[in-house]
Structures are given as C-alpha cells and as structure tokens.
C-alpha cells in the first residue's frame, strides 16, 4: 500500500514519542547527606602536553541540509580540542571512588543532549542514575540516536523532524556511553552516568570544580575520548580546597 510522505513522517514521529518514555526514576540511595559546613572542593585542571595537532577537517556534503545548516561543506573534527594555555576540552572528570555511604537526591530537571547543525551538543556530558536525559532534534532534517550502552539498556531512536524529542533514564552507573548518528557518521557524543553529583566536563579553561565534597580520600578520574583515562588520589580535610592536575599527550 502506498503511504504518502507526510503520513510516513507522522508515523516516525509517533514512534519516537511513544518509545521515548521511560520508567520513573529510582529512589536516591539511602545514606547520610553531606554536611555543607564541613564540605570541601577539588578543582581538576586538565592540560595537553606538547604541540596540539591541527584539527582534521571533516566533509559533510553528503547531506545538503547539513551544508546549509553549517554554511559550508566541512567542519573541524572536535575529538581533540586544545585551547589557551594548553587547556584540554571535552574531558569528563568525576569522583571514581571514595564516597562511601552518602546518599544524594536525584535531580528531576533533565539534562539535554541536542542535535544541532548536524552535531551533538554538548559532545561530552554527564547525567545521574535516574535523572531524565532529554534528547532533541533542532535540525530540519532526519537524525537518529544510537546509544551503545554496555551496562545500561542500549537504544536506537529516530528523530525525523525538527522539534522531535524523547526522554531516557539510565538504571545504573556507566562511564562512558557512546552516542552515534547512523545517518551522519561524524556525529558523536559521550555520556557519563553516575550515582552521585561529583562530575563535570572541561570547557575552554580545562577545569572542572567538584564542590560540596565531604572530607575524605578520593580517586578522581579524567577521561578523554581519544587520549584515554588517568586517575589521581586526593585527600581533603574539612573545608579544604585542593587542585589536581592531569596532563595528556599523544
């Protein structure tokens, strides 16, 4: 039976919305709350050693709409971005170990992963176990979202129209979950799923501030998509602030 193009688009939209629901978030793990009167701060500083390679240019003229959205047929690869003072961007920094039995309320506000100008934005992000991840399409063209989780449930969803969005939650900790778009092979993102709030992604200054940490000894990990992961141990006393430095090289 022949189906008109608008009907097909509506059908895909219905599938995306219908399949995008997720179970209610699990309750926060039982445990004492962090006392802000004694909490400290760890600031991670991530740098690149040596001369950063020139970014590889990627062509996306296989999709004329991507060319139109970007005003050109190519863009710089973002798998290695080094800024001023050798600051390394898009590094996921988190407390890997040491938090013990503390309990942390799960945020209800969603983390947003956008498909904008034929790229995922942000490229590297984090979400809490049970917190909504809202994935939206801001482009006037077809994308799909394939999450290649190995511990959590993987999924592959179509976002065929501008404005389509769906929500997913993750049931357990996993660092990292890769995201791809099968329609546009250069579109990549990485998601860290954690059961606590002590994580972040380096921006232009190469820093992540892990605040409101209870006194203790922690293993902090810095993860980069092409350069691997490094860990450091840090001990903070009550109200203490410390810096940890990570250096990556090729």
Pairwise pLDDT comparison (22 vs 149), residue with the higher score: 149
Task: Specify the pLDDT at position 21.
Answer: 43
- 120 against 11, higher pLDDT: 120
Query: For residue 138, what pLDDT is reported?
Result: 92
**Per-residue pLDDT tens digits for 116-141:** 999 999 999 999 999 999 999 999 99
Cβ(20)–Cβ(12) below 8 Å: no
Residue 20 has pLDDT above 90, yes or no: no
77 — pLDDT class (breaks 50, 70, 90) = confident
Instruction: Indicate the pLDDT class of residue 7, thresholds 50, 70 and 90.
Output: very low
At 6, is the pLDDT very low, low, confident or very high (cuts 50, 70, 90)? very low
Cα separation values, 230 from 145, 167, 190, Å = 29, 31, 17
Strands 133-137 vs 111-115: parallel, antiparallel or unpaired: parallel
> Of all residues in the chain, what percent carry a pLDDT higher than 70?
86
| pTM for the model | 0.87
**Residue 40's domain is classified under what CATH number?**
2.60.40.420
Q: 61 or 48, which is more confident?
A: 48
Mean pLDDT (the chain) is: 88
> What mean pLDDT do residues 89-105 have?
95
Could you tell me what percent of the chain has a pLDDT over 90?
71
Q: Map tokens 């989780």 to a residue.
A: 149
List, in sequence order, every residue forming a beta bridge with 175; answer none if it has no partner.
192
How many residues are listed for the chain in this entry? 250
Q: What are phi and psi of 21, to 5 degrees?
A: -70, 165
What confidence score (pLDDT) does residue 61 get? 66
pLDDT at 19 over 90: no
Q: pLDDT value at position 129? A: 97
The answer to whether the CB of 43 falls within 8 A of the CB of 242 is yes
Per-residue pLDDT of 183-229, as tens digits, reads 888 899 999 999 999 999 999 999 999 999 999 999 999 999 999 99
The pLDDT score that the predictor gives to residue 65 is 79
* pLDDT given for residue 26 in this prediction: 52
Q: Contact, 45 vs 247, CB < 8 A? A: no
Nearest to 139 by CA among 100, 95, 184: 184
How far CA 247 is from CA of 56, 91, 220, 224, 240, in Å, comes to: 22, 11, 14, 11, 23
Query: Which of 184, 178, 176, 177 has the alpha carbon at shortest distance from 159?
Result: 184
| Number of domains the chain is built from | 1
DSSP per position, the chain: ----HHHHHHHHHHHHHHHT--PPPPPPPPSPPP-TTT-EEEEEEEEE-SPPPPPPEEE-TTSHHHHHHHTSSEEE--SS-B-GGGBBPS-EEEEEE--TT---PPP-SPEEEEE-SSSEESSEEEEETT--EEEEE-SSS-EEEEE--SSS--EEEEE-STT-EEEE--SS-EEEEEEE-SSSTT-EEEEEEESSS-EEE--TT-EEEEEEEPSEEEEEEEEETTTEEEEEEEEE-TT-EEEEEEEE--
Name the residue range of residue 119's domain: 5-23+31-248
């Amino acid at each position: 039976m022949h189906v008109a193009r608008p009907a097909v688009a509506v059908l895909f939209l219905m599938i995306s919305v219908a399949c995008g629901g997720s179970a209610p978030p699990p309750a926060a793990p039982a445990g004492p709350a962090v006392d802000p009167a004694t909490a400290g701060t760890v600031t991670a500083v991530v740098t690149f050693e040596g001369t950063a390679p020139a970014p590889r240019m990627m062509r996306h003229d296989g999709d004329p709409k991507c060319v139109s959205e970007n005003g050109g047929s190519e863009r710089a690869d973002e798998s290695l971005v080094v800024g001023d003072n050798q600051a390394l961007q898009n590094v996921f920094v988190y407390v890997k170990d040491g938090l013990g039995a503390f309990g942390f309320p799960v945020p209800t506000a969603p983390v947003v992963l956008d498909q904008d100008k034929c790229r995922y934005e942000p490229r590297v992000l984090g979400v809490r176990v049970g917190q909504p991840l809202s994935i939206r399409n801001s482009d006037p063209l077809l994308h799909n979202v394939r999450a290649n989780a190995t511990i959590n449930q993987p999924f592959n969803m179509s976002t065929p129209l501008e404005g389509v969005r769906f929500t997913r939650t993750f049931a357990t900790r996993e660092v990292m979950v890769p995201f791809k778009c099968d329609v546009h092979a250069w579109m990549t993102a990485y998601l860290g799923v954690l059961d606590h709030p002590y994580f972040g992604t380096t921006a232009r200054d190469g820093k992540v501030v892990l605040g409101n940490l209870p006194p203790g000894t922690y293993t902090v990990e810095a993860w980069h998509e092409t350069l691997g992961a490094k860990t450091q141990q840090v001990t903070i006393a009550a109200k203490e602030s410390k810096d940890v430095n990570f250096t990556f090289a090729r």
